[in-house]
Amino acid sequence: QLNTSTQLNTHFLRRATRGHASSTLLIPKALEEPSSAMRRSAPGPGGGGGTIRFRTTFHNTIYDVFRARGWKETDSETEWDVAWVDTGWIRENFDTMHLEEHQRVNHFRNHYELTRKDCMNKNLKRMQRSLQREEKHEEARKYDFFPNTYVLPVDYGLFVEEFKHHQAGAIWIMKPIAKAQGKGIFLFNKLSQITEWKKDHRWKPDNPQAETYVVQRYLENPLLIGGKKFDLRIYALVTSFMPLVVYLYRSGFARFSSFRYNTNQKNLGDTYVHLTNVAVQKTGPGYDAGAGCKWALRSLKLYLIGKFGVQATDKLFYEIQELVISSLLSVQKVMIHDKHCFEMYGYDILIDETLKPWIIEVNASPSLTADTPQDYELKFGLLDDLYTVIDVENKLGGVIEECVGGYDLIYNNGPMKSDKQSCYTTRLGCFDDRVRQLKRLHKAHAKRASSSAQH
């Protein structure tokens, strides 16, 4: 029988080693079927000798992570310890289920309050107005990171009035509220151009069959690199809304368009110029599947430091971190909190030419399918560290750690203080040595467990 200290040692070293193996070899050795000995000795809740049981319909990186941790797959609807499911499953099953104390699932019941475009806009505007009424003007001014937005068909009259106040030729963008991967998005600069859209979508203000869209002022002045438009994918993990507990993953990536940016009238319909979604770009002419269209967040940060300096770049990345926190605070009071739930949000952020960040959208189910070796390395570490934070095996003993692998705690019922010894106010985009950090975490908890056992 292993003592607590040895169990911690075995667990964390195995986790660190597997993470490193996956980064180097791309396919972790631990993807092989766990041995019977491993199954018997695996710690934590679950059946079959204590092995964690997972349920998922996804066979991509998340499945690899579960297998690499030595967990056992089950197709049971109820007898699982962790479930990674789509939002449709939550909608159909969550309200009728009774979850045991230890079970964890990857969505909150009303995740859509932030991830559906119309709901996000509603909540951000409501938070901004609430702060203004309370005369918290400095806090209200922080909510300037989303473009002017209307929901159609409901707000069509208001939108037309707003449209008329802008100079001729101003560009707007329309997006269906519940679609992803760039589907249904189009740009326009004349009201006549959406007249055709209204015909196609059986549009009437009171027609329940009309597909709901959001319309926004298009951000025409994005920061360009090599003449091309890009946006950022940032990952935030919320383990609780009451109180709000948020981790931000250090790594992420920039997604680039394939063609040089321009706003010429004839190119408004060219999605390869204006949309950075990988699902769109990979269908374009000349797309190189081996190279992809992504750039690591750390590489982007180093480029920006070289071009704009440390202070300006750090300010930008800190504002992105603040944007994430502010957006989550805007939905905190309306979220249905449940201790069994957590959420890993995929934030899409655009940077304009003045180095101001803008929130484009928040994804409840960011893609976990890797399209390059580097993408696999990022997503494997992202998900592996996530389950170290969630800690279904109770290796952390309920302690909320400030750093777990590549995750940094940025909010715990209040903003975390920045490291005074660092020249940066946020670790977002900094070097992510997750393997070494996990080893340090192991040593700290092994020492704590040993001390507790002695007393």
| Euclidean distance between CA atoms 26 and 372, whole angstroms | 10
Helix, strand, coil percent values for the chain (each to nearest 5):
40, 20, 40
454 Cβ contact partners less than 8 Å away, ≥ 6 residues apart: none
Residue 202: the pLDDT is: 55
Number of Cα atoms under 13 Å in the Cβ half of residue 349: 27
| Residues 265 and 435: beta-carbon distance below 8 Å | no
The string of DSSP letters for 133-146 reads: HTT-HHHHHT---S
Identify the sign of the CA torsion 306, 434, 346, 320: negative
Question: Using 50, 70 and 90 to split pLDDT, how confident is the model at 22?
Answer: very low
pLDDT tens digit sequence for 188-229: 998 888 876 666 555 555 555 567 889 999 999 999 999 999
Residue 36: the pLDDT is: 37
344 SS3 class: strand
User: Is residue 335 scored above 70 in pLDDT?
Assistant: yes
Query: How far is the CA of 450 from the CAs of 320, 392, 442, in angstroms?
Result: 40, 21, 12
| Euclidean distance between CA atoms 298 and 141, whole angstroms | 29
74 Cβ contact partners less than 8 Å away, ≥ 6 residues apart: 53, 54, 55, 80
Task: Tell me which of 43-52, 140-149, 312-321, 367-376 is least confident.
Answer: 43-52
Range 13-38 average pLDDT: 40
The beta strand positions in 393-452, using DSSP E, are 403-404, 407-412
Range 300-309 average pLDDT: 97
Residue 306: the pLDDT is: 97
| Euclidean distance between CA atoms 335 and 328, whole angstroms | 10
| Distance separating the N- and C-terminal Cα atoms of the chain | 20
pLDDT tens digit sequence for 386-399: 999 999 988 888 88
Cis ω for the linkage preceding 153 (within 30 of 0): yes
Q: Note the pTM of the prediction, 2 decimals.
A: 0.86
User: Is residue 302 scored above 70 in pLDDT?
Assistant: yes
pLDDT tens digit sequence for 88-122: 999 999 988 899 999 999 999 999 999 999 999 99
Residue-wise burial string across 177-191, b where 16 or more C-beta atoms lie within 10 A, e elsewhere: bbebebeebbbbbee
| Euclidean distance between CA atoms 398 and 101, whole angstroms | 14
| Euclidean distance between CA atoms 358 and 18, whole angstroms | 36
CA 92 and chain centroid, separation: 23
User: Is residue 435 scored above 90 in pLDDT?
Assistant: no
Residue 3: the pLDDT is: 38
**What single-letter DSSP state applies at residue 269?**
T
Residue 79: the pLDDT is: 92
pLDDT tens digit sequence for 440-451: 887 888 787 777
CA 22 and chain centroid, separation: 21
**Average per-residue pLDDT for the chain:** 84
Q: Is 390 exposed, middle or buried (0-12, 13-18, 19+ CB in 10 A)?
A: middle
Question: Using 50, 70 and 90 to split pLDDT, how confident is the model at 276?
Answer: confident
Residue 371: the pLDDT is: 84
Range 165-173 average pLDDT: 88
